Amino acid sequence: MTAEQLNNLMLAVSLLALLLLFATFLRARIRLLQRILLPSSLIAGFIGLILGPQALGLIPAGIIEIWGGLPGRLISVVFACMFLGHAIPSPGTVWREAGPQICYGFLAGFGQYFVAILLTMTLLTPLFGVPPIFATILEIGFSGGHGTASGMCEVFGALGFPDGCDLGLMSATVGITLSVVFGMLLVNIAARRRYALLINSPGSIPRDVLSGILEIGNRRSIGTSTVSTNAIEPLAFHLGFVGVSILIGWLAYSVMRGLHPILKSFPLFPLAMLGGIAVQAASSRLKVDRLLDRQSFERIQGLSLDILVASAIASLNLRVVLDYAAPFSILMIAGLVWMLALTWFLAPRMFPDAWFERGVVEFGMQTGVTAVGLLLLRIVDPEYRTAAAPSFGFKQIVYEPLLGGGLITSISPMLLIGMGPVWAFLVLTGIMLLFLGVAAAAGFFHRHPGPYQSIHQ
């Protein structure tokens, strides 16, 4: 890389940082942005898109090109951090604490493929001529999010559907917006119908959550130093573990791409996640896991994700989105209806207690991001008094390596092309029946509990 290219990279990142800063203060001032709880990274991305060549033309195409290359690299950092600093529980503990949540989560995730493939096969392809691979953008955007969609750009390009990159990013943008808007609608309805265990009215969201600016009394530490700054900066120390995780993923990536021609399009980021799991397991065995601070890894992950989302939205190709406007809109509506149906009809008949709290956190995660799910849960269960939060956390340990950006998400476009939509739909039908059968055999199903007779404040 030449000195000029390095300077352009620094300029592009600095400009993106300025947009993130401006977006944060913009949200703190504008009530509409607060009410829809739009993350600053999305606001920054939209501002960059408006200022770019496709609209006002104030940001040169060269900067947009650099921004477009950032998400595909940063997603490996995000996924490498996923399990670092987490103690890995035994399978028995995970199933005992989160069996119903695991079955429900996989029904939601695989169901997004199930609905999308059925809809694409029977309506969208015959009517609009979209390829079968179009069906994968629902789960990639909804359950996966912007990071996963960015990581899948190379896969879509290698499989002959480069438009899937922009459609996946737009799917994630629509998903996170729907998760907040309809999540809050569900909260209001459940509170008034007394389906929420702890509240009988939705209450008010704390001001610092709305504005995004923490008051002095609510400010908290963002990490703990486990090493002396005389030796190494603590964040640099933790970044070293992230780097090792990505290197392990890169080695596996290099080997995998040589095994079969179809694997040449396999992305790096899920292997970086497996590298992180391997590093965490080795750290526990070598008794150095006490030096790993989970909050520090979350800061590295959060920083990477904010830059990733802002740059991905700012470099979005609007022409592609407009070209697919009709089939894309139908697919998004179908995905929303699927998640609403699960939350309102399956959750109360599957979860043993606090069904709405368990269901709404899953709704937020499966349509937007984990942070939105936890935010919705915090509104109905402010002190995490129900079993929803720990159950959801244990479920994520099983879910994330596979769906929502995991291995199955990564290979779904390849599997769909290789199997064809009919066989893929039949396999998904079998998977859905399997999880329903496991849930039935475990005794998870029961009648709708109805309104709670008493509300515990």
Spatial distance between the Cα atoms of 186 and 202, rounded to a whole number of angstroms: 10
pLDDT, tens only, 393-408? 888 888 988 898 888 9
- Residue 16: other Cβ atoms inside 10 A: 23
Instruction: Give the pLDDT score at 325.
Output: 93
Instruction: Give the pLDDT score at 262.
Output: 64
Per-residue pLDDT at 456 exceeds 60: no
Spatial distance between the Cα atoms of 202 and 207, rounded to a whole number of angstroms: 15
pLDDT band for position 300 (50/70/90)?
Answer: very high
Beta carbons of 244 and 274 less than 8 angstroms apart: no
The two tokens of residue 198 are 């702890």
pLDDT, tens only, 38-50? 788 889 998 999 9
Beta carbons of 280 and 88 less than 8 angstroms apart: yes
Residue with the two structure tokens 């199903």: 445
**Range in 121-130, 179-188, 192-201, 219-228 the model is least confident about:** 192-201
Residue 387 vs residues 101, 351, 352: alpha-carbon distances, Å: 11, 10, 10
Q: How many CA atoms lie within 13 A of 393 on its CB side?
A: 14
C-alpha angle 406/246/171, rounded to 5°?
A: 35
Instruction: Give the pLDDT score at 457.
Output: 45
Spatial distance between the Cα atoms of 42 and 36, rounded to a whole number of angstroms: 12
The two tokens of residue 439 are 């849930």
Beta carbons of 106 and 75 less than 8 angstroms apart: no
Instruction: Give the pLDDT score at 101.
Output: 93
Per-residue pLDDT at 253 exceeds 90: no
The two tokens of residue 229 are 């700054």
The two tokens of residue 68 are 């477009």
Per-residue pLDDT at 187 exceeds 60: yes
C-alpha angle 365/139/306, rounded to 5°?
A: 55
Of 268, 241, 228, nearest to 85 by C-alpha is 241
379 Cα distance to chain centroid: 20
